[in-house]
Amino acid sequence: MLPAADDPFQPRTKLTARTYNSGFADAHDTYNGMGCGSDGKIYYVLSSEKYDVGALMYAFDPATKTIKQVGDLTEACGEKGKKTIVQGKSHVNFVEMGGKLYFSTHIGFYSLVDGMEKPGIPPAGWKPYPGGHLLSYDLKTGKFEDFGIGPGGEGILTTSMDTRRGRLYGISWPKGYFFRYDLKKKEWKNYGLFAVQGEDGKGANYRTLCRSIAVNLDDGSAYFSNANGDIFRCDYAEDRVVPVKGEDLRKDYFGQYDPTSPGHMGYNWRQTFYRPADKMIYGVHGNSGYLFRYEPARNRIEVLDRITSDVSKASGMFDQFSYGYLGFAAGHDGKTIYYLTGGPIYQDGRRVAGKTSTAMGEAKGLENLHLITYDIATMKARDHGAIFYENGQRPLYVNSIAIGLDGTVYFLARITEGGKTRTDLVSVRTK
């Protein structure tokens, strides 16, 4: 039964989600790693946290409701059987160009050092992680193409693509090298570090790295941020990175952060996309949940609305995932933004509390998952309600999203069945 309409601390509507079983029992928490192809299928990667079990890629056909495993990322990178730490993740959104999906790979096996995740120390007989790769997947032939390993032998945390000029941009982990790969020239370029020592640093040298690169398709410029709130622009014509002067992400509405402290994104934007219709970059600041847009031509940021759940607004609390949420994307209609975010849980009039702080990117407590849409034309947000599985369980650790051609929302979340928990595909529709 839904709560009384006058109770602002309870979700007023509920959405029922459908779960799927891809058959990968070792699948662990996945960040991004999704996309909707022009063929209408939903492509996704399920991650692994093991040193010897790599991430697997799947295709879901909405027409037949069938799932097909299309690849093993370690094998696609030519590293199967080499006893190097496997390719455990794809940490990026897929981008399509010329009938191919472009994406990258990342390490999924970690060692905890001073409470923070570092590249995993290989067990006896195994070699270190060789580095993340840039890959493409051909929608028609089902074949992968490997473009090589990113700078420094690091994992690849963030990628985006200029689909008009055929250039991929990326940020490595843990140090945070910003780089590009030109498909026509088959040429890599490493522009260097822009966040001190990134997540490999200590004390004053630590900075949480940017998870989203926005590409202005009109002039080919690629934009990214750092935890200090600085915005950087990679100039396509000059092929160099320059700081954006006169504008930044240090907004009072976003809150106040110590950029050297782990466990939050600082002033980084969390997720972004470029909208050709108005030549704007739309983004969300993860920790505060504020939607904003950046107009490159005028070099101006406009804060639009707080797109957290209605329950979060009413209670005044931040969401519980320490970095904010990656499930932020544009719909195929060109005017709707979809956002998967959190909402507090109240029991007997009291909020279910979690940890007050963490040094990692993780959930600090249990919360509901809400689907928010924002209409760019009317500038209005709508909370469609809390999402639950058919058995009443809550989707947990959701940091991914893909919008089907028919408007169905897909994401990857923890699912518990038969006493075992895995991460897998979930779909939900707005009412």
Q: Would you state the pLDDT for residue 1?
A: 43
Q: For 79-102, what is the mean pLDDT?
A: 98
Give Cα 182 distance to the centre of its chain. 23
For the cut 80, the answer to whether the pLDDT of residue 353 exceeds it is: no
Whole-angstrom distance, CA of residue 166 vs CA of residue 178: 17
Q: Would you state the pLDDT for residue 320?
A: 82
Q: Would you state the pLDDT for residue 218?
A: 96
Residue 301 lies in a domain: yes
The residues with which 89 forms a beta bridge, in sequence order, are 106
Q: Looking up tokens 């399509």, which residue turns up?
A: 96
Reported confidence tier of residue 65, pLDDT bands at 50, 70, 90:
very high
Q: Would you state the pLDDT for residue 288?
A: 94
Mean pLDDT of the chain, nearest integer: 95
The sign of the dihedral angle between the CA atoms of 113, 115, 117, 123 is: positive
153-209 pLDDT per residue, tens: 999 999 999 999 999 999 999 999 999 999 999 999 999 999 999 999 999 999 999
Q: Residue 197: what are its φ and ψ, rounded to 5°?
A: -105, 15
Contacts of 378 (CB under 8 A, 6+ apart): none
Q: Would you state the pLDDT for residue 19?
A: 98
For the cut 90, the answer to whether the pLDDT of residue 42 exceeds it is: yes
Q: Among candidates 420, 326, 422, 427, which has minimal Cα distance to 28?
A: 422
Whole-angstrom distance, CA of residue 192 vs CA of residue 82: 30
For the cut 50, the answer to whether the pLDDT of residue 266 exceeds it is: yes
Q: Would you state the pLDDT for residue 321?
A: 87
Residue 375 lies in a domain: yes
Q: For 134-140, what is the mean pLDDT?
A: 98
Residue 297 lies in a domain: yes
Domain that holds residue 329: 13-31+269-421
Residue 363 lies in a domain: yes
Residue 374 lies in a domain: yes
Residue 393 lies in a domain: yes
Whole-angstrom distance, CA of residue 292 vs CA of residue 374: 12
Q: Would you state the pLDDT for residue 3?
A: 52
Q: For 286-314, what is the mean pLDDT?
A: 96
14-39 pLDDT per residue, tens: 999 999 999 999 999 999 999 999 99
Q: For 80-96, what is the mean pLDDT?
A: 98
For the cut 50, the answer to whether the pLDDT of residue 239 exceeds it is: yes
Reported confidence tier of residue 431, pLDDT bands at 50, 70, 90:
confident
- Residue 362 structure tokens: 């993780």
Residue 93 lies in a domain: no
According to DSSP, residue 47 is labeled B
- Residue 278 structure tokens: 């108005």
Q: Looking up tokens 């809400």, which residue turns up?
A: 370
Residue 403 lies in a domain: yes
Q: How many domains does the chain have?
A: 1
Among 11-15, 128-132, 233-237, 399-403, the least confident range = 11-15
Whole-angstrom distance, CA of residue 199 vs CA of residue 363: 19
Q: Would you state the pLDDT for residue 41?
A: 98
